Amino acid sequence: MEKRALLAFLLSIMILLLWDLYFTPKKEPVKPEKTKQEEMIPEQEAAEQQEEHRASVDAEVLPSFKMEQIEKEVKTWIVDTPVYEARILQPGARLFSLTLKKHKSRAGEDAPFMELITAKPYGYLPLAVELLHHQDFNLSTMSYTGPEETKVKLDGQDNKTMEFRAVADGAVEVVKRYSWKGGSYDIDLTVEVTNLSSEPLRDSLSLSSYYLPYEENEPSYNHSRLAYYANRELTKIDMKKIRKEAVTLENSVNWIGFENNYFIQALIPMTNEPYTLVGRVIRPDVGLLQLVYVSPEFTLSPGEARSWSFRLYMGPKEMEELEKAGHLLTASIDYGWVGFLARPLLKFLVWIYRYTHNYGVAIILLTVIIKLIFWPLTHKSYKSMQKMKEIQPLIAKLREKYKDDREKLNQELLQLYRTYKINPMGGCLPIIIQIPFFFALYRMLYGSVELRHQPFCLWINDLTAPDRLFIGFHIPYLGGVPVLTLLMGLSMFIQQKMSPSPGDPRQERIMLLMPVIFTVFFINFPSGLVLYWFVNNVLSIVQQFWINRATS
């Protein structure tokens, strides 16, 4: 019975992992009812009043605000902080680049730093501002006047506001104010529009951002998506869906942005008025996407001004940094139903890393600690399985004797268990208790930026990448040899051979096949997760060896 429970456990893990990776349904964007938004949006007026002022937005005809040509001689402003370097381009006062200083684009000491403005080669720079009814003003491409100081260096506690101004046809003045914080990834942006003409100005303001996946062939466990948080619910929209049809949201959100497992580019509208958000593809050939904020229609009298405030978070999905930025950005780290376990496990792993300075070693120590915590339970389970193995001949005789009387067989089996003081479910409970911890570790290890590009030893130089040892020639479909994954499969096979026989030849064949299935299944998983499973298997082998020796 315990062997069946173990088989069911392993099969359940495989099915749930497959479902989690490939078949988890994406939540469709919905129009929620009026709510109070935490940390940002106060209680709004009735929906009927809001709709009167909402701008009508057609995603199909919304401009892309592309910069046709970016001259090398164009003036730029540089903001250098401990965590990133940002550049503002004079045309449009748009963000030209944002390079993360603590994260690299790929593994290796010679790798360049991570650049988040990925759509730049195609002429699409984020934070483009336009008036939708007066696009002839060309606010997103016209030249802005900025500070005389073109390079600003900020320390961890420093703050700096930079102001950029432009006047369009003597009719409209636009001011963009960027507020930078030396030790944080969040940036505040205020856009102010003043009517300089003698006539009322009726229009809608738009703010655009762009996204191109960081990797051309993203692994299934780290694909890009559009995500937003509203009404205490995180919604993710797969890029494939957006490529088929534009997504339009007409509700307030805490934040919205493009993300993968490790980085997020989030927009936070700091307003209590209704607005529209549009996510769509503008370059299907390369998968380039645009996110547009559209304000409600407004009217400015001559000489009147109006401003809009936004907060941007452009950086890694590190819990500590997201907590500092606020606005419930921590919800972007989605560990699913095991989040209540995965978050403290991640904090504990980071704490271990502070002493080991190697996340591979930290994973090993974390695995050992968890194994020690569950040692009494697993020990009880193994002993129960051992006892079940000893009475298998008696069980077989009873099954043969009462093969035509199911009720009598069950009665005799219960009596047999009482005689030998065996709980037939004794091996199941320890396994069931460990299931949430396994999935918490699984979600934490494959979805944490803290492990990205972190080396372990020898050929493993990135714990978030698949395990590969390159040996001078290309192996079809693999590239290199998955040494750690093969060792994991071997350790699982040894563990199966050391475990008590299930008695049923069919179950025994299935159990022996499980190491092969798991080896194939884990072959493209992050090496950090494979390392955890391998170490866990080795510890289980040690425990099983000790129990077998004590029993004999």
Work out the pLDDT band at 391, boundaries 50, 70, 90: confident
Work out the pLDDT band at 57, boundaries 50, 70, 90: low
Contact 325, 184 (CB under 8 A): yes
Average pLDDT over residues 8-29: 50
- Residues 328, 401: one domain? no
pLDDT in tens, 288-333: 888 999 999 999 999 999 999 999 999 999 988 998 888 899 999 9
Query: What's residue 425's pLDDT?
Result: 63
Mean pLDDT score of the chain: 80
Work out the pLDDT band at 354, boundaries 50, 70, 90: very high
Q: Does 22 fall in a domain?
A: no
Q: Does 31 fall in a domain?
A: no
- Residues 462, 313: one domain? no
Lowest-pLDDT choice from 13-27, 366-380, 424-438: 13-27
Query: What's residue 476's pLDDT?
Result: 72
Q: Does 466 fall in a domain?
A: yes
- Residues 320, 386: one domain? no
More confident site: 44 or 338:
338
Report d(CA 11, CA 16) in Å as an integer: 9
Query: What's residue 311's pLDDT?
Result: 94
Query: In percent, how much of the chain has pLDDT > 70?
Result: 81
Query: What's residue 147's pLDDT?
Result: 93
- Residues 459, 369: one domain? yes
Average pLDDT over residues 182-192: 93
More confident site: 63 or 354:
354
- Residues 318, 393: one domain? no
- Residues 398, 286: one domain? no
Query: What's residue 22's pLDDT?
Result: 46
Report d(CA 386, CA 126) in Å as an integer: 64
Q: Does 146 fall in a domain?
A: no
More confident site: 426 or 52:
426
- Residues 354, 408: one domain? yes
Q: Is the pLDDT of residue 169 over 80?
A: yes
- Residues 457, 370: one domain? yes
Average pLDDT over residues 115-136: 85
Query: What's residue 307's pLDDT?
Result: 95
Task: Count Cβ atoms within 10 A of the Cβ of residue 482 and give its class: 0-12 exposed, 13-18 middle, 19 or more buried.
Answer: buried
CATH assignment at residue 311: 2.70.98.90
- Residues 472, 515: one domain? yes
Query: What's residue 44's pLDDT?
Result: 39
Q: Does 468 fall in a domain?
A: yes
Q: Is the pLDDT of residue 502 over 60?
A: no
3-state secondary structure of 264: strand
Domain that holds residue 307: 122-137+158-214+221-334
Query: What's residue 69's pLDDT?
Result: 58
Domain boundary among 284, 306, 334: 334
Query: What's residue 183's pLDDT?
Result: 86
Query: What's residue 34's pLDDT?
Result: 39
Query: What's residue 39's pLDDT?
Result: 41
Average pLDDT over residues 377-395: 74
- Residues 330, 353: one domain? no
Domain boundary among 334, 366, 384: 334
Residue 516: CB atoms within 10 Å? 12
Q: What values do phi and psi take at 86, rounded to 5?
A: -115, 150
Contact 482, 494 (CB under 8 A): no
Average pLDDT over residues 152-159: 89
Query: What's residue 135's pLDDT?
Result: 82
Q: Does 261 fall in a domain?
A: yes
Residues sharing a CB contact under 8 Å with residue 384, sequence separation 6 or more, in sequence order = 2, 422, 423, 426, 427
Domain boundary among 312, 334, 356: 334
Work out the pLDDT band at 23, boundaries 50, 70, 90: very low
- Residues 200, 166: one domain? yes
Query: What's residue 246's pLDDT?
Result: 85
- Residues 303, 429: one domain? no
Contact 128, 208 (CB under 8 A): yes
For the sheet with 276-283, list strands across it.
Answer: 128-131, 205-211, 288-294, 276-283, 247-249
- How many domains is the chain partitioned into structurally? 2
Query: What's residue 72's pLDDT?
Result: 62
Query: What's residue 32's pLDDT?
Result: 38
More confident site: 151 or 274:
151
Lowest-pLDDT choice from 31-40, 166-175, 425-434: 31-40
Q: Does 209 fall in a domain?
A: yes
Q: Does 179 fall in a domain?
A: yes
Work out the pLDDT band at 426, boundaries 50, 70, 90: low
DSSP string, 331-369: GGS--GGGHHHHHHHHHHHHHHHHHHS-HHHHHHHHHHH
Q: According to the per-residue pLDDT averaged within each range, which of 126-135, 370-379, 388-397 is highest?
A: 126-135
Q: What values do phi and psi take at 334, rounded to 5?
A: -105, 110
Residues sharing a CB contact under 8 Å with residue 508, sequence separation 6 or more, in sequence order = 501, 502
